[in-house]
Structure 1
Amino acid sequence: MNTRENGPDQEPVIRDKRKIDPETGKARETAAGGADEQAAPADGAAAPGGDIADDLAERTRDLQRLQAEYSNYRKRVERDRVAVREQATAAALAELLPVLDDIGRARDHGELTGGFAKVAESLEGVLTKLGLSAFGAKGDPFDPTVHEALMHSYSPDVTEPTCVEIFQPGYRMGERVIRPARVAVAEPSEPSAAEEGAAAKAESPESPASPAGPEAGGPGSGSDDN
């Protein structure tokens, strides 16, 4: 203790002047209260810690959600960039298809010779590197999604709609069809009228033969009254 007793009738001597009330000059009775006030924050120290943990968990979830949104954004931007690039390339290749048609006609007529042949081969090589490819050949099954039928006929030589003539080849870039192939289509020949009649007769049940003689009620079947 900071007090010293000199006798039963003497006032205690206070060594710590911070505990002396300046108005009354007596010792302050706040030791117990101060201890309680100092203990109170210690008892409630767990509450701020719990709030910090909850706040940290919430901020972590926000960061994870933001990171996922940014990743999806990057994927979407890259996908759009690829689509725009493919669309621009397809538009440029479509403008060059008439040139390829002229080169093909010159090759068919034997006019693709000399330096012109070298230029044509170089152009076709560059377009092939860009993903351009031709399609459409005689004997291919007719596919309305990639073929444009300009003529239609029947033929006994086919068993399904078939491309029998290629008027203009088609071109695609990857899975994108830039121009459909223009073709003549033949279907299996229709059966003739005689064949249809024979088939119908073969499928129908045979009718029973009409009985002849008196039992059938034909001529002479009646009784002779004479």
Structure 2
Amino acid sequence: MRQQEMENKEPMDQSPEETVETPAPEAAEAQEPAPEEEAPQPAGEAEKLQEALREKEDQYLRLLAEYDNYRKRSQKEKENAWATAKAETIKELLPVYDNLERALKQETCDEAYAKGVQMTMTQLKTVLEKLGVEEIPAQGQPFDPNLHNAVMHMEDEAFGENMVAEVFQAGFKLGEKVIRHALVKVAN
């Protein structure tokens, strides 16, 4: 058994430098495949993956933009619906305003009645102001077809060209939206 051990030891007596062969640098380069040879296949796959990533990114950005547009459009429609409902409600209240205005113009002997009508009219005007409703100025103003509806025409040198001489029915607007045009008589 010792003899076998000795035989096993003999090769170990040699120095490690002698037993280990290191390949020369030129040989190492020859053994490894050149990166240029393998590059087309992985680069082609990488390009395909990059293109697929760009397509998915583009789809994501388009979907995000569509959702943002939908959100803005929905918000605008909601605001328009609210403004339209508000304008329609106010439009239904305007005949009450007209009747109170006519009642104030009538002469009466009952002071309590006149005061009650005046208080009701003041309260209605306050409510309309809180809602953002403004009366369209008309008397003595230049005629504007966007704000006024001319129902009569008269020639009078006391008034200027296309001036509102008389207001038959007050007009109102909510913000920039005209709820009801003022019915007017236009001079010249």
- Under a length normalisation based on structure 2, what TM-score does the superposition of the two structures give? 0.68
Letter of the aligned partner of 1:55 in structure 2? A
| Secondary structure, aligned partner of 2:155 | strand
1:163 maps to 164
Q: Measure how far apart 1:122 and its partner are.
A: 2.9
The 5-angstrom pairing of residues 56-95 of structure 1 reads: 56-95=53-92
RMSD: 2.6
Match of 1:113? 115
| Bigger CA radius of gyration | 1
2:173 matched residue in structure 1? 172
Q: Distance in 1 between matches of 2:43 and 2:155?
A: 91
Residue 169 (structure 1) shift: 0.9
2:21 corresponding residue in structure 1: none
Structure 1 CA distance, aligned partners of 2:124 and 2:148?
25
Q: Is the 8 A contact 2:150 2:185 kept in 1?
A: yes
**Cα deviations across residues 22-51 of structure 1 (Å, max 9, x unaligned)?**
xxxxxxxxxxxxx99xx9xx6533332222
- Larger relative contact order (C-alpha < 8 A, sep ≥ 6)? 2
1:137-216 paired onto structure 2 within 5 Å: 137-187=138-188
Is contact 1:131-1:174 (8 Å) kept?
yes
Tell me the secondary structure at the aligned position of residue 113 of structure 1.
Answer: helix
TM-score, normalised with respect to structure 1 = 0.58
Q: Take 2:144 and 2:124, find their aligned partners in 1: how far apart are those partners? A: 29
Please identify which structure carries the higher helix content: 2
Runs of 4+ residues over 6 Å off in structure 1: none
Distance 2:44 2:138 in 1: 80
Unaligned ranges ≥5, structure 2? 1-30, 108-112
| Separation in 2, partners of 1:58, 1:100 | 62
Match of 1:100 in 2: 97
